[in-house]
A and B are shown apart, each in its own frame.
Chain A
Amino acid sequence: MASNALPKDARAVPNRPAIYDELGVPALADAFRKMQLIRRFEESAEESYMRGLIHGTMHLSIGQEATAVGICSALAETDYITSTHRGHGHCIGKGGDVKRMFAEFFGKEDGYCHGRGGSMHIADPTMGNLGANGIVGGGIPIAVGAALASKRLGNGRVAVSFFGDGANNEGAFHEALNMASVWTLPVVFVCENNQYGMSTSTERSTAVKNVADRAVAYDMPGVIVDGNKFAAVATAAREAVARARSGGGPTLIECKTYRTRGHSRSDRNRYRTKEEIESWIERDPILALENDLITYDLLSQAEIDEIRADVETEITEALAFAAASPSPAVSSLTRHVYTTV
């Protein structure tokens, strides 16, 4: 994606994607850090799971980090997101704290949900994250509602709804897109098309070739991007968020990506080939961004290595924090069911 815009950065080089100049080096370093943090958070969670420290299940987004961070790079802290069962990346992308995320995984009182929700319900309302969701498609109308509230309150906030390709066959998806369009709401629908809903490929589940093709039915722009390319995702997000914020209404962005881990811990990967998985591992979004940052002279290898080292420290400290956090008291079982005790 070549840029006609004049480079703003002193270190600019030819053919550098415009979005890199628009975001600037500190934001790019932050994006790289967040993608690496998501990866290491999930790898560490997986390891803790194997060691029997975490119960329940978890859905890893390894391979999809560029969609979460690319989209969130266009958002202000006050903007909203609704997330999915595969939501760790969205939470970190929106500025979540891995200390509290690990604590939630460990079912501890310091967790984002005070140990009540676990991996599938991590939320951080203080950062506009209205929550992961155990119900496929459950968050989509909720994002539309948050956008409706923003519009009524005139606070300029935009809502982003993340969902998977599988969710595009739920009624909630269709009803939500229609209302967002009819009421011209400041919402961006982000489909993370990793090509499977559990074991079911989009070819077997979905009548249209691209989820973005559905946008026509709801009279909104439908944009397809390479979900493994941070620059492509961030560019589309910036445009859609600007459109939403300026009163232009909703956009549907489809990020084509892939989850390189199984659907959840019980997946035996019987519906796809090793070769397919490996071909996508080669398209690692984090390595691709690193490569870009160096090629376009935005960060040095030493700076990249330093970010990686910082992430390791953050993960180690967060795991220790979570392990040391107390479990909720059993006597508090029915706390938080209602607002008033």
Chain B
Amino acid sequence: MDQIVRELSFAQAIQEALSIAMERDPRVFLMGEDIGVYGGAFQVTGDLVHRFGEDRVMDTPISELGGAGVAVGAALGGMLPVYEFQFSDFATLAMEQIVNQAAKLRYMLGGSVSVPLVMRLPCGSGTGAAAQHSQSLEAWFAHVPGLKVVQPSSPHDAKGLLLAAIADPDPVIIFEHKLLYKTRGAVPEGHYTVPLDKAETKRVGKDGTIVATAIMVVKALEAAAELAKEGIDLEVIDLRSLRPIDVPAIVASVTKTHRLMCVYEGVKSLGIGAEISAAIAESDAFDFLDAPIIRLGGAEVPIPYNPELEKAAVPQVADIVAAGRRLVRGR
């Protein structure tokens, strides 16, 4: 079947996925703060309230803990809620329901229930909103068995992962980097899904592997294009899924390229890079490594307000370019 493909923004692609899911299944509904007439803090839900009504695009009071719990209960009760946190930072107020309840109910109840819940969390820095509105906490959630955690980097994947998440019987947490909302890319019309557990090679290369997440995929691709001019040919893998991590895809790439760099916006230590590095150290790819693994992550600091400090707190294209040279040439 031929699918028509157009260019949409990341935010439009998410909105289209929400609208398709609501049209296909009356159990799907949206909850969140100011997602109705305001259209969402980042205009992702936009005009959906006018098309689907206030019962299906539900503004909640400013009550993250209770709201998340209501979404868990609605999922248990036969609905398919998609809950929007206004900023991923505010999910910290709802950790109880996400971590103790949503993630564990099925297991604790011996498999007798499932929690078909989707949560959307706008994350990341770069907007000058400072320390309580700019965090990248995805590794926290990825540490919890029972949750599935994904992070799209393109409009295509944003739509496909969201539709897959809504179709999935278990709780799925989607981190949406705020700086991606306005980026544009090809998006097929209609319903399609992107697997929740697969990384994707976004650039094929032979001299080294970059594993990146979210906006760092965009930056890594820019850096790889830059390095190609110097004769350094890097492979760029978009991790996409943080839980589970697609270890076979990374092992295969590193086995081919013999070098690995991880680039992510969350704080560098105790994060995604540590997990990927350890997975490679434990795998057969270890024997193929020709250079130390490099991790580029966020600085060990809350996100600062000052724009120069804010930029310095997370990896930039120039940092990836410099690290790419070190990875391949040793300097």
A170 within 8 A of B: yes
Contact of A56 among B38, B61, B62, B129 (CB under 8 A): B129
B84 within 8 A of A: no
**A191–B90 CA distance with the chains assembled, in angstroms:** 21
Given the interface contacts A200-B34, A270-B38, A334-B300, does A113 sit within 8 Å of B305 by beta carbon?
Answer: yes
Chain B residues near A78 (CB-CB < 8 A): none
Chain B residues near A57 (CB-CB < 8 A): 127-129
Count how many chain B residues have C-beta atoms less than 8 Å from C-beta atoms of the other chain: 36
Chain B nearest CB, measured from A131 CB (Å): 11
Q: Which residues of B contact A (CB under 8 A)?
A: 33-34, 36-39, 41, 59, 61-66, 89-90, 93, 127-133, 299-302, 304-309, 312-313
Q: Nearest A residue to B302 by beta-carbon distance?
A: A337
Q: Are B312 and A56 in contact (CB under 8 A)?
A: no
Q: Are B37 and A170 in contact (CB under 8 A)?
A: no
Q: Are B312 and A333 in contact (CB under 8 A)?
A: yes
Q: Are A107 and B307 in contact (CB under 8 A)?
A: yes
**A24–B39 CA distance with the chains assembled, in angstroms:** 48
A121 within 8 A of B: yes
**A266–B308 CA distance with the chains assembled, in angstroms:** 23
A199 within 8 A of B: yes
Q: List 18 A-B contacts (CB under 8 A).
A: A57-B129, A104-B305, A116-B306, A118-B128, A121-B130, A134-B130, A135-B90, A167-B62, A170-B64, A171-B63, A198-B41, A199-B34, A270-B37, A270-B39, A330-B309, A330-B312, A333-B299, A333-B301
Contact of B127 among A56, A116, A197, A198 (CB under 8 A): A56
Count how many chain A residues have C-beta atoms less than 8 Å from C-beta atoms of the other chain: 42
Chain A residues near B130 (CB-CB < 8 A): 56, 116-118, 120-121, 134
**A242–B288 CA distance with the chains assembled, in angstroms:** 74
A87 within 8 A of B: no
Q: Are A337 and B300 in contact (CB under 8 A)?
A: yes
Binary flags per residue of A81-118, CB closer than 8 Å to B gives 1, else 0: 00000000000000000000000100110000101111
**A166–B307 CA distance with the chains assembled, in angstroms:** 30
Q: Nearest A residue to B305 by beta-carbon distance?
A: A118
Chain B residues near A134 (CB-CB < 8 A): 89, 129-133
Chain A residues near B300 (CB-CB < 8 A): 334, 337
Q: Are A115 and B129 in contact (CB under 8 A)?
A: no
Chain B residues near A328 (CB-CB < 8 A): 304, 306, 308-309
A206 within 8 A of B: yes
Contact of A121 among B41, B61, B62, B131 (CB under 8 A): B131
Chain A residues near B66 (CB-CB < 8 A): 171
Q: Are A170 and B131 in contact (CB under 8 A)?
A: no
Binary flags per residue of A262-283, CB closer than 8 Å to B gives 1, else 0: 0000111011000000000000
Chain B residues near A118 (CB-CB < 8 A): 128-130, 305
Chain A residues near B305 (CB-CB < 8 A): 56, 104, 107, 113, 115-118, 121
Known: A107-B306, A117-B131, A169-B62. 5 other contacts (CB 8 A): A116-B304, A117-B305, A166-B62, A170-B63, A200-B61
Chain B nearest CB, measured from A337 CB (Å): 5
Chain B nearest CB, measured from A215 CB (Å): 19
Chain B nearest CB, measured from A51 CB (Å): 15
**A333–B306 CA distance with the chains assembled, in angstroms:** 10
Q: Nearest B residue to A336 by beta-carbon distance?
A: B301
**A328–B132 CA distance with the chains assembled, in angstroms:** 20
Chain B residues near A327 (CB-CB < 8 A): 306, 308
Q: Nearest B residue to A269 by beta-carbon distance?
A: B38
Chain B residues near A204 (CB-CB < 8 A): 59
Q: Nearest A residue to B35 by beta-carbon distance?
A: A199
A137 within 8 A of B: yes
